[in-house]
Amino acid sequence: AVNEARLWDSLMEMAKIGATEKGGVCRIALTDLDREGRDLFVKWCKDAGCTISVDQMGNIFARRPGKNNDLPPVMTGSHLDSQPTGGKFDGVYGVLAGLEVVRTLNDFGIETDAPVEVAVWTNEEGSRFAPAMVASGVFAGVFDLDYGLSRADLDGKTMGEELKRIGYAGDLPVGGRPIGAYFEAHIEQGPILEAETKTIGVVTHAQGQRWYEVNVIGQDAHAGPTPMERRKDALVGAARMVGEVNRIGLAHKPFGRATVGLLNPIPNSRNVIPGKVFFTIDFRNPNEDALTAMDAEMRASLAKIAEEQGLEIEITQIWHSPVVTFHEKCVGAVRNATQRLGFSNMEIVSGAGHDACYINRVAPTGMIFIPCEDGISHNEIENAAPADCAAGCNVLLHAMVEAATA
């Protein structure tokens, strides 16, 4: 069994890097704080006897050798970057659960047949650089390297530049090598396990996602002398569109999700009628056809609103991550480990995207969910119980050892 206190202490130690006043974490991808988090992880892994390599997307691999190092590694991992108002567990838990597996194997002097690796994937959140999971996507061959390195934040800084700046632009080619199996432990980030009072979610699928960027174009004008009927107020139009996106989510209950997370009026000045609004849409559905239907409904409604308001509109789908079915072998390994260890459990569909979704394309992959308080994530108050963190980590340990044993 893993060391619950050690795992918890590591989580709390890492959470100091980018700690916010409200008890959360702001450790945005490829900032100085992301570098600090990476440095601490690398130090801990070296102390645990691992060798470190970094690829050209800044993905970090900490390797614990096995008996037969020609065997493909059994890998786990997740991400260290956070949302601007993120929590202490999203991503970090999966990384430090991996480290705890290594430390536990060391404690008991266990030598696996295959080597074990713990991965940190760059920019999983997709908050600073869209889309999400871009570096595991390059690893899995979904995106090419140039696409990955050229992703830019709203200030125009690219991932390539920022990786160099923080010293994590590695030499290793991205992907293209065999992995025996990949497991990722994560907080659920939703309310289901808590509501059902289950300790472990055996993740079978992940929802499909479509992300969009929308520009609504009207005309800047003075808020005082411009009569209401002469206005081309891009924000009035965008506001109706936000309502419509939400309506589409509600119309696809219980499984559809529709969110406008980012919205920037331009010029964003109190006494100027906004001439332009840039906003994003995040659509999800575990059913690919329903996701396609949401796309069509959204395009029709937004065009209609734009026409009615005398505005122009440009809608660009910037990302499509189809519904994922995890690998039966790994889902089975998670289920077996959970049952063997006697944890209450249920099958669950991931509402969030995870690096595991992309790694599943190049290696047999499975995921382990643990509950989080009130189902709240992407929030500074995100919380998880030490015992649940240890439970998920024990399942991870057992699933990995099984997979790493010939």
Ligand X SMILES: NC(=O)NCCC(=O)O
Q: Is 125 annotated among the ligand-binding residues?
A: yes
124's contact among its own copies, ligand X, none, with CB below 5 to 8 A by partner kind, is ligand X
Q: Is 90 annotated among the ligand-binding residues?
A: yes
Q: Which of residues 251-280 bind ligand X (CB under 6 A)?
A: 271
Structure tokens at 259: 């969110």
Residue 253 is a binding residue for its own copies (CB under 8 A): yes
Residues in the interface with ligand X (CB under 6 A) total 13
Q: Which of residues 180-199 bind ligand X (CB under 6 A)?
A: 189
Q: Which of residues 114-133 bind ligand X (CB under 6 A)?
A: 124-126, 132
Distant-in-sequence, close-in-space partners of 6: CB < 8 Å, separation ≥ 6 = 100, 103
Structure tokens at 286: 């575990």
Contact of 81 with 125, CB cutoff 8 Å: yes
Residue 392 is a binding residue for ligand X (CB under 6 A): no
Q: How far apart, in Å, do the first and last CA atoms of the chain sit?
A: 21
Residue 246 is a binding residue for its own copies (CB under 8 A): yes
Q: Is 378 annotated among the ligand-binding residues?
A: yes
Nearer to ligand X, 22 or 222 (CB): 222
Residue 222 is a binding residue for its own copies (CB under 8 A): yes
Tell me whether residue 328 is exposed, middle or buried, using C-beta atoms within 10 angstroms of its C-beta: 0 to 12, 13 to 18, 19 or more.
exposed
Contact of 63 with 47, CB cutoff 8 Å: no
Q: Which of 65, 72, 191, 386 binds its own copies (CB under 8 A)?
A: 191
Q: Which of 81, 90, 184, 297 binds ligand X (CB under 6 A)?
A: 90
Q: Is 159 helix (H, G, I), strand (E, B) or coil?
A: helix
Tell me whether residue 336 is exposed, middle or buried, using C-beta atoms within 10 angstroms of its C-beta: 0 to 12, 13 to 18, 19 or more.
middle
31/24 Cα distance (integer angstroms): 17
Q: Is 111 annotated among the ligand-binding residues?
A: no
User: What is the chain's length?
Assistant: 406
Residue located via tokens 């589409």: 248
Q: Is 252 annotated among the ligand-binding residues?
A: no
Contact of 64 with 82, CB cutoff 8 Å: no
Nearer to its own copies, 158 or 280 (CB): 280
Angstrom distances, CA of residue 367 to CA of 65, 81, 379, 396: 23, 19, 22, 9
Q: Is 17 helix (H, G, I), strand (E, B) or coil?
A: coil
Q: Which of residues 216-245 bind ligand X (CB under 6 A)?
A: 222-224
Q: Using CB under 6 A as the criterion, what x/- string covers residues 17-56 for binding ligand X? A: ----------------------------------------
Nearer to ligand X, 271 or 316 (CB): 271
* Helix axis angle, 328-341 to 386-403, nearest 10°: 120
Q: Which of 108, 109, 171, 271 binds its own copies (CB under 8 A)?
A: 271
Q: Which of residues 17-56 bind its own copies (CB under 8 A)?
A: none
Q: How far is the CB of 97 from its own copies (least distance, A)?
A: 19
Residue 123 is a binding residue for its own copies (CB under 8 A): no
Nearer to ligand X, 306 or 359 (CB): 359
Annotated binding residues for Zn(2+), written as ranges, equal 79, 90, 125, 186, 378
**Residue numbers at the binding site for ligand X (CB under 6 A):** 90, 124-126, 132, 189, 222-224, 271, 352-354
Annotated binding residues, written as ranges, equal 79, 90, 125, 186, 378
